[in-house]
Each structure stands twice: as structure tokens, then as C-alpha cells.
Amino acid sequence: MATGRTHRPATRSRGIPEATVARLPLYLRALTALSERSVPTVSSEELAAAAGVNSAKLRKDFSYLGSYGTRGVGYDVEYLVYQISRELGLTQDWPVVIVGIGNLGAALANYGGFASRGFRVAALIDADPAMKGKPVAGMPVQHTDDLERIIEDNGVSIGVIATPAGAAQQVCDRLVAAGVTSILNFAPTVLSVPDGVDVRKVDLSIELQILAFHEQRKAGEEAASDGGPPAAAARKDSADQGPDGDVPAVMPA
């Protein structure tokens, strides 16, 4: 079958809802900023505003971690920073490898947000022999041939794939075989992995396409009610909703 195993059967990890886990880093960032300003306590309302979420949601999220607040006062910033960090596993060191040192891979290697959160770039790996030894972000690029050894030597369990789409699955297979159990995939492909391996994907093109959808809808609505076409590129053709085909099928890929 070789189906891309990527669906989620509602795994409530350790009782903490997945949606909550996804927001914890957001809270952590806001709390870190408060901590740097030496703010001692914060209310759910204030913190929610800083994180851009509903305050009730924030309180419910925190309730999954435990009762860390004080009624009438709020939450202790430092204590909460520690609790969330611990919950997310950021109190330990996570060696990470980045495979595919093109433009994006290099950008990731230079990205400061990793190191500041307990992640350590253990190695940069590329398939191009010409890249071998070349320093990127103060670190020599290593060749794909040594991938397995690098993973093992450094105890890497998290891998970042920034290769072209064509190479992604092969790289993924090798990473998994070498012991990696979490993968962050930037290649525009559906990765197929065995059970027990987590894959998260970031697709820049998809994000833009979603924006384009909403943008088109806004343009359509505006054109329908208001008469003023805003600027140059406003070619809309809505007339949607034709159950039967209205236009032939040809499209630029």
C-alpha cells in the first residue's frame, strides 16, 4: 500500500489535548518576554492578550497542566515558564540534524530561534559533494554518506528535511532507519513513515495558497457590494457554483 501515514486518530497525549500542546510554545514565548521585563505575575486576561488567544481557552489549557495559578492574583511568571518548559521537554538538550543545505537549509541553520529553546544543531548534511566541508553557520557541511553515523554518534532523534521534494522520502527513510523518531519536513511531499514516528510539515506554498483563497473571496465580496476596484491586480471572475462544467480544463501547472 505505501500509504502516507499521516492522519491523527485523536491521540490525547498524556491527557493533554493536541490543540493545547500546539499553543504551549505560544504561551511560553509571551511568558519569556514578561520574564525578561521582570514582571512577577500575570493574569489570564493579560497573558491571553499577549499570546493572541481567548482567556478562557488559556485557563483551560493551563488546567491540563495543573493548578498553577492563584485566584485573585494570576500566574507566577517564572514558575509558569518552568512548568511549560518542562512539559514541552525543553529542559533537556535536543540535538537536531538538518538535511539539505540549500537556501532554506542554510536559513534554518542560521536561525537563532532553535538554539534559544534547547535545540542544538548537531550537524548539517547535504548530498552535494561540492558542499562537503563548506562552512554554513559556522559549521562544516557533511556528506549524506555519513548520515547514519552522525545520527548515532550524536544521539539525534529529531531531523529536519529541507531537501528538494524528490529526495525527501529517501532521506526520511534513512533518518528513520538510523533512529530518528521526529521529523520536521519542509519538502513539498507527503512522507510515509512507520508508526511511532511523528512528522510535522511546513509548506510555504500551501500557506500562500490559503491566503490567496481568502483574498479572492474578499475581492469578490467587495466587487459585489462596493463598486470601487481597489488596484491593479483585481481580476475576479467568480460566477462560481456551476455544478455542471462551465469551462474547459486547462491550467498552468
**Minimum CB–partner distance for residue 198 and its own copies (Å):** 4
**Is residue 175 packed enough to be buried (19+ CB in 10 Å), middle (13-18) or exposed (0-12)?**
buried
Task: Map residue 52 onto helix, strand or coil.
Answer: coil
Residue span binding its own copies (CB under 8 A) among the ranges 4-12, 124-132, 138-146, 166-174 = 4-12
| Residue 135 touching its own copies (CB under 8 A) | no
Does 253 bind its own copies (CB under 8 A)? Our answer is yes
Helix axes 44-51, 18-36, angle to 10 degrees: 100
10 binds DNA (CB under 7 A): yes
Q: Which is nearer to its own copies, 145 or 217 (CB)?
A: 217
- End-to-end Cα separation, the chain, in angstroms: 27
CA distance 151 to 95: 9
Nearer to DNA, 3 or 103 (CB): 3
Question: Pattern of binders to its own copies over 62-101, x per CB under 8 A?
Answer: ----xx--------x-xx-xx--xxxxxxxxxxxx-----
User: Is 64 in contact with 20 (CB distance < 8 Å)?
Assistant: yes
Distance CA(133)–CA(229), nearest Å, equals 54
| 194 CB-near residues (< 8 Å, 6+ apart) | 5, 176
The sign of the dihedral angle between the CA atoms of 23, 28, 29, 34 is: positive
- CB contact at 8 A, 109 and 124: yes
Residue 60 vs 149, nearer CB to DNA = 60
Residue 51 binds its own copies (CB under 8 A): yes
Rule CB under 7 A: say whether 241 interacts with DNA. Answer: no
Residues 46-105 that bind DNA (CB under 7 A): 53-57, 59-60, 62-63, 67-75
Size of the site for its own copies (CB under 8 A): 132
Region 143-202 residues binding its own copies, contact defined as CB under 8 A = 151-158, 178-184, 188, 190, 193-202
Q: Which residues bind DNA (CB under 7 A)?
A: 7-10, 12, 17-20, 43-45, 53-57, 59-60, 62-63, 67-75, 245-246
